[in-house]
Structure 1
Amino acid sequence: MQALHFGAGNIGRGFIGKLLSDAGIHVTFVDVNQQVIDEIAKRHQYPVNVVGEQSTTEIVHNVDAINSSSSEVIDYIGTVDLVTTAVGPQILARIAEDMAKGLIARYQQTNNAPLNIIACENMVRGTSQLKQEVFKYIPYELHSWMNSHIGFVDSAVDRIVPPATSKIGDILEVTVETFSEWIIDKNQFIGDIPSIKGMEPVDNLMAFVERKLFTLNTGHAITAYLGFYNNIATIRDAILVNSIRTVVQGAMQESGQVLIKRYNFDPAKHQAYIEKILTRFENPYLQDDTARVGRQPIRKLGSSDRLVKPLLGTFEYELSNNNLLIGIAAALNYYNVDDHQAIDLNKQIVEKGLIQTFCDISGIEINNPIVCQIEQLYTSMQHHQY
């Protein structure tokens, strides 16, 4: 079986690429980083450090790589059995045109074998959004064939893969945590679902998407923003501060109440999941920066993302949200000169004011009472009174 994977970064190599290779699938990476591409193409393997209580180094074999600007990308899409991505939400639209060209080439070659495309991104229904972008470049008369032969499969992915510097200067070496979760919507697959250890097909994908978004992503972001606010460099050091941990755990419990109401989750099992997430944040082998995890605050304050979406759920079910509000205020206070979105966010607040900026980004009505609460929390943080 052959797979084409867009994105040869840490997540691509350390998570999705590794699971595919471990399943005996030949993986060809597509990326813009020529140095990484050349090294993979030369060695056809790379090391992955899986760190935790029982740390190991595993070698990923049976891999190749091509540059994303190469016409080979289109040729590969015409012939492979699976396409996956780990490029970041902003990049999906950029790869859509080449993906469409490859699918058209597949049609022209009368390759009627099913092809499934899975976007493994930190976003809700990322593959469905990718499909919308791809279909902009597909002639209408081919839509029926595409819908019959090409599966666009949504997924939820969860593995912490922080930037890590190789001690021996190996640009392909990557470090990942022991835990990983890759859940796919089996109802969107066309043809047989391949047996890949670590990939779990489910009927109710949105329950798992929101469980991860409302727990891992919500908690991770709030840990980062409160840590950065308190000049703490790493997620581990931040979560070990009792005052931060209390807010993070409280926010995950508030968002958890939404999940319990919405999906009938078992409260005890969900609390155990929250505790597992907190343990992962504490992993001493993962040196993950608060600045990195907090990046792109405008995206993370959007109505469908990790801070505001669970907050909207607390409105829906009339639940408490005090800790979520603290996390949102911390995100609004996130000023990192190395982050374009953080600079833009600060500029908007200066020009339009906190309330208008937050409402524009989040979509929350300006007359909602929580807006004033967020402003008060934000102002307290600005005056270092939090």
Structure 2
Amino acid sequence: MKKAVHFGAGSIGRGFIGDLLHDTGYEIVLVDVDKNIVEQINKTNSYDLYIIEENYKKKTIDNVKAVLLTDTDKIAGEIAGAELVTVSVWVDNLPGVAVPLLAGLKKRVGKEAGKLDVLTCENAIHNGSILKNEVLKLDADFTEDMLDKAAAFPDTAVDRMVLASERNGVKSVDIGLAHELVIEKSKLTDPESEPVKGAVYTENMDKYIERKLFIINGGHAWAGYMGHICGFTTMQEVFEDENFTSSVREVMQEIGALIAQKYNFSIDELNNYIDFVINRFKTPGITDYISRVSRNPIRKLKAGERLTGPCIQCEERGLKNDRLIEGIAAALLYDISEDKQSSELQTHIKEHGIEESVSFYTSIPADSKLHKKIVENYKILSEKKKSHSYTATGGV
């Protein structure tokens, strides 16, 4: 049986990538930092998924074992004998993956095991290059030319509804049927191969990555940050409010106008995509928390990310971006003490002021009109947040 090593045994790792790897016929080695989930998987060499649209029908993923991320030697040995490596750990955690990955690739070089595809399944543009660069930072003697002979790092785009759950004290994942894993065909070790069953293979990754990251993740982030302004706890509270749902649609339509212009998608096609996304967000019987959707605001405010990226590009092209500006301002107001990045963000704003913080976290120049609009929205939303009185009727 073919072997795949997957870094990340969270909801995406088990509920999306692990599911596809299982259906492709791989033996799966899951790598994670959570000792409890590693022990749980190794008890039965399996884990369970529950399909939301099929009345939570159980699907068991077997032929699985798990290893702790700290066990570098064991992981390296597994990689040395693998046909595929996949990763879904959040972008901020990729440096931790790079260490055992490099150790495994060096073992493969020593065994002349051949070149390995490494799929970085993260919500980030050029995610394959991000992981590749993290590997290159570790050892100056292991040059880029050597790495290119050992591994390929195609970019990917990922999309599936996955929600952590628990049944009878056992951690599981609830999954939606609809999913999309897009893989950059030209950068695969063999461009004609299809290492994952059910994936889309394309020569144009940017159109899929930006459509997904900006429209889905951007719209979801906007809903989370604005929901926080209003004092909501769950995303279901947001989407039960028709005014809010209409506003989320407006955000996605602002982004859709950009994506249509850049990649020649038709407006009708993108509107249908937006309808599909909103209907998925409103799926009955699930609970998703604003704290999950909105976590790590510093990463999500970076230039090129889900709100800042389309907002800047719309500004450059003269396209409407009022809702996106509002969302960036709301992200700057995200204040949850349990969220490390939120705490860091709020401390920076208190010490340096909102004007400097906008430039620091978004890279938007302080002398630009866009910067001024974000600051104006921030000040207005700051007052609204105090009374949770925001009405979703449009930006300033």
The answer to whether TM tops 0.5 is: yes
Paired residue for 2:31?
Answer: 30
Residue 148 of structure 1, CA deviation: 3.2
Paired residue for 1:86?
Answer: 88
Residue 275 of structure 1, CA deviation: 0.8
Check the 8 A contact 2:364/2:370 in 1, yes or no: no
> Residues 138-189 of structure 1, C-alpha deviation per residue, up to 9 Å, x if partnerless?
555664343234211110001122332x231112x11122221110000110
Paired residue for 2:173?
Answer: 174
Which one-letter code corresponds to 2:186 in the other structure?
N
Paired residue for 1:16?
Answer: 17
Which one-letter code corresponds to 1:75 in the other structure?
G
Check the 8 A contact 1:149/1:190 in 2, yes or no: no
Paired residue for 1:115?
Answer: 116
CA distance in 2 between counterparts of 1:63 and 1:287 reads 28
Paired residue for 2:105?
Answer: 103
Check the 8 A contact 2:3/2:28 in 1, yes or no: yes
Check the 8 A contact 1:19/1:198 in 2, yes or no: yes
CA distance in 2 between counterparts of 1:299 and 1:67 reads 26
Task: Kindly report which structure 2 residues correspond to 1:341-360, keeping only aligned pairs within 5 A, or say none.
Answer: 341-360=341-360
Task: Kindly report which structure 2 residues correspond to 1:201-350, keeping only aligned pairs within 5 A, or say none.
Answer: 201-350=201-350
Residue range with higher mean Cα deviation, 141-150 or 244-253: 141-150
User: TM-score, normalised to structure 2's length?
Assistant: 0.93
Aligned-partner SS, 2:82: coil
Q: Which runs of 5+ in 1 are unaligned?
A: none
Q: Which runs of 5+ in 2 are unaligned?
A: 391-396
Paired residue for 1:134?
Answer: 135
CA distance in 2 between counterparts of 1:287 and 1:161 reads 11
Residue 196 of structure 1, CA deviation: 2.9
Check the 8 A contact 1:10/1:163 in 2, yes or no: yes
Aligned-partner SS, 1:232: coil
Which one-letter code corresponds to 2:236 in the other structure?
R
Paired residue for 1:189?
Answer: 188
1:382 and 2:394 equivalent? Answer: no
Aligned-partner SS, 1:130: helix
Check the 8 A contact 1:180/1:198 in 2, yes or no: no
Distance change >3 Å, CA 88–CA 195, structure 1 → 2: closer
Which one-letter code corresponds to 1:236 in the other structure?
Q
Distance change >3 Å, CA 361–CA 143, structure 1 → 2: closer
Residue 42 of structure 1, CA deviation: 2.1
Task: Kindly report which structure 2 residues correspond to 1:7-86, keeping only aligned pairs within 5 A, or say none.
Answer: 7-52=8-53, 55-70=56-71, 71-86=73-88
Distance change >3 Å, CA 374–CA 141, structure 1 → 2: closer
Residue identity (%): 31
> Residues 16-44 of structure 1, C-alpha deviation per residue, up to 9 Å, x if partnerless?
01110111111011112222112212201
Aligned-partner SS, 1:175: strand
Which one-letter code corresponds to 1:115 in the other structure?
L
CA distance in 2 between counterparts of 1:53 and 1:175 reads 11
Residue 371 of structure 1, CA deviation: 2.0
Residue 216 of structure 1, CA deviation: 0.5
User: TM-score, normalised to structure 1's length?
Assistant: 0.95
Paired residue for 1:4?
Answer: 5
Check the 8 A contact 1:6/1:29 in 2, yes or no: yes
Aligned-partner SS, 1:181: strand
1:162 and 2:163 equivalent? Answer: yes
